[in-house]
Amino acid sequence: MKKQFFDDLGEVYQLIKDKQEQLHTFYDVLKPGAESEKRAFIDDFVEKIGLEVTPEREMAVITRLVSLRDDALTQALKAAGFSEEEIIEKKEQAYLWVADYHLKMHASLVEEIEAKGLLTPFYREVFRGVHAVGKTFSDWQSSWTAHIIDGVNRELYRLFNGDEEKIFEMLHEKELFDPGHAGEKGDRSYSVLVEQEDGSFKSVPYAEAFAQEVTTALLALAEFKNNLLKLEDEVFDQKEVLTDYLQAIIEALAERDTAKLIPRWAEVDRRWMKVTAPLQIGHPLEYYEDHYKKAVALEWDLRIVNPKNSAGDVKEKIKSMYAKLFAALRDEVEGSEKIYETSLKSADKVQLYLGRPALYYGAEFCGLFSAQVVPNDEVVTKEAGKKIFAFADNVLEASRAKPFMKIQKEIFPQWFLDQSREVLFKREDIWYEVYNITTIGHEFGHILWIDDDTESVMNKTGNFKNIEEFKATAGGLCAFFHDDTEALRAHVLNDTIRRAVGLIAWKETGEVEPYYCEGLIHLSGLFETGVLKFGKKLEIDMGEEGYARIKAWYLETYKALALHYLKKEDASDFLHRYAKKEGKYFMPLRDDVKYFVNYYWNLHKEIGQVIDEEADKAAWLLN
């Protein structure tokens, strides 16, 4: 039976791949003589939000639909002169448009699996149930965004004249964070701020703030659970753990006592860690979007494993680097052994799932992750470890589908672009090896140097996430640098440079500020070591000496950052070595980096959505 299940799983995996490839054909709209139906679908929406149709605006809308990112669309709306309120309204229109398209795509997948009788009745019900619950989360997302991101957070920013440190002081002073396991201030919230008549704020659980939406989701979850109870899991014997997990979500979502929210959701994570089947449900886990109270986003999805993929020896290299570096730091901080052992045990317990999202909803219609390490609750992690999900197949296909962009040609030398494109299109083996180092390594990197209260202690001024993403990437890179393979050196450095530069495009996208800040720290090192210089184009030194300099910089910088974590010093103290706020946005301290960031950002606003019409992608692929 298990062999048949995995044969069916392979067929389902192919169905999902086919649907993603169909989605990617929207890029063909930008080619001369494009399919009229798809072009009309895109152009109708461009006009619906009050924009005149141009290739750049078509590209921004296609990016919103296909990549689920809204930064390009936001810039298009700003450039067209819409007010902040109008942009919020039009971004909501875009969310509803995107959600409608993807919900129909998911429904058709569920129907195909059902019609072909794939998997087993139990796992067909998993697909049906996840989809039914996902529709309720997708409906809820609009009011979540309106209340938190576009409502109370804008009001806080106005009340405190943009001084975010004062916002955090108020939240701490008024004890508006959800209490953690032992009554301490938690590192995330399952509640929202509501302004009172006297101008003060109080913390209100999701079940109270979004009563109607939560009730609808609870009904769908209860029906999902009850439907599973009527069936048997004859392949993986996961019926009990899956239904217990859904019951925990029901109890957590219905909780109205803020003091019990984090423990309730910790129980969700605890039960979820026992779910080990190759179809994995994802629940609310991350909290990037809400800068202040860290309200957990409305994630809901189903992830499918590709049994053919492998992460190689990334885990062992990470552990080896971690042990060597800790040996050099252990005497610097009293009690650091406990942090080291906690992280090491977490890394040992990691469950690794390589595959792709099968179904996704709610907050994920505003951006899908390329990989993820969860849960974020370190008490649960200490007991049960973490799960790492990596969606390499999705990332590879999406990267190949995108057109060549003019901004790449304007910024990077042609030899550098050819080097990266050669790997992307013609050296799949190297592409996956680099992904393992830079992306799966990044997820393992999150685990290191962390114990129960690291985030809450280091986040006093709200910048923990703004150094944590760099810490994660640097951890994966340093694991490679400690034992690097000569054949991969140039490709790992190429990927790192492109990532650092590309992250500048997220400067004004608040929910991904941590990645933008990560890019600023990378760029600081790349310019400091002379690997990057900027005149009219980037000058890139990827020779042996340049590689040696940047390798030494990463090893030294990561060592300093690890010590910062062991001492649990405020995250802002490290970030401010490289970047500080100028108005609403962080900017690098180095003059050469600042000049380049300003240049790239202005160029991105001008031509970020312009295709390189001089580059014939089809011809390049034939060379």
User: Which pLDDT band, with edges at 50, 70 and 90, does 437 fall under?
Assistant: very high
Residue 432 lies in a domain: yes
Averaged over 447-476, what is the pLDDT? 96
What per-residue confidence (pLDDT) applies to 153?
95
> Is position 104 within any domain?
yes
Q: List residues bridging with 193 in a β-sheet.
A: 203
pLDDT at residue 36 in the model: 83
Q: Rounded to whole angstroms, how far apart are CA atoms 342 and 487?
A: 34
CA 68, CA 195: separation in Å to the nearest integer?
A: 31
Geometric angle at alpha carbon 243, from 242 and 245, rounded to 5°: 65
Tell me how many domains the chain contains: 2
51 in any annotated domain: yes
* Distances 84 to 79, 173, 372, 400, 450 between C-alpha atoms, Å: 12, 31, 32, 34, 39
How far apart (Å, rounded) are the C-alpha atoms in residues 131 and 522? 39
Within a 10 A sphere around the Cβ of 195, how many other Cβ atoms?
14
Residue 477 included in any domain: yes
List the structure tokens of 142: 């609009």
Bridge partner residues of 532 (DSSP): 540
Instruction: Tell whether 57 is covered by a domain.
Output: yes
Spatial CA neighbour of 103 closest among 4, 11, 19: 19
Q: Rounded to whole angstroms, how far apart are CA atoms 530 and 540?
A: 8
Determine the Cα–Cα distance for residues 251 and 226; give it in Å rounded to an integer. Answer: 15
d(CA 96, CA 385): 36
Q: Which residues pair with 405 in a beta bridge?
A: 611
- Cα separation of 403 and 369, whole Å? 21
Average pLDDT (44-53) is 97
Whole-number Å distance between alpha carbons of 393 and 398: 9
**What one-letter code names the amino acid at 403?**
P
Could you tell me what percent of the chain has a pLDDT over 90?
91
Mean pLDDT of 503-524: 95
Indicate if the pLDDT at residue 35 is higher than 80.
Answer: no
Strand order in the sheet with 387-390: 279-282, 299-305, 351-362, 387-390, 371-374
Cα radius of gyration (the chain): 24
Cβ(193)–Cβ(176) under 8 Å?
yes
Once rounded to an integer, what is the mean pLDDT over residues 503-516? Answer: 94
**Cis-peptide, bond into residue 357, ω within 30° of zero:** no
**Consecutive H or E run containing 195:** strand 191-195
Domain finish residue from 72, 98, 119: 119
Summary mean pLDDT of the chain: 95
Q: Domain range spanning residue 509? A: 394-622
The answer to whether residue 231 sits within a structural domain is no
Among the listed residues 535, 540, 519, the one whose alpha carbon sits nearest the alpha carbon of residue 592:
535
Per-residue pLDDT reduced to its tens digit, 544-569: 999 999 999 999 999 999 999 999 99
Kindly report, residue by residue over 151-208, the tens digit of the pLDDT. Answer: 999 999 999 999 999 999 999 999 999 999 988 889 999 999 999 999 899 999 999 9
Question: Which DSSP category does 26 fall into?
Answer: G
**Residue range 514-544, pLDDT digits in tens:** 999 999 999 999 999 999 999 888 999 999 9
C-alpha to C-alpha distance for 401 and 407, rounded to whole angstroms: 17
pLDDT of 309 strictly over 80: no
Q: Is residue 357 part of a domain?
A: no
Kindly state whether residue 222 falls inside one of the protein's structural domains: no
Q: Would you say 413 and 540 are in contact if contact means Cβ atoms under 8 Å apart?
A: yes
Give the type of residue at 92. Answer: E
Model confidence pTM above 0.85 = yes
Read off the pLDDT of residues 354-376 as tens digits, 9 standing for 90 and up. 999 999 999 999 999 899 999 99
Domain endpoint, select from 119, 153, 188: 119
Residue of 372, 297, 270 whose CA lies nearest to 137: 297
**Residue where a domain stops, chosen among 95, 119, 143:** 119
Chain centroid, CA 42 distance in Å: 26
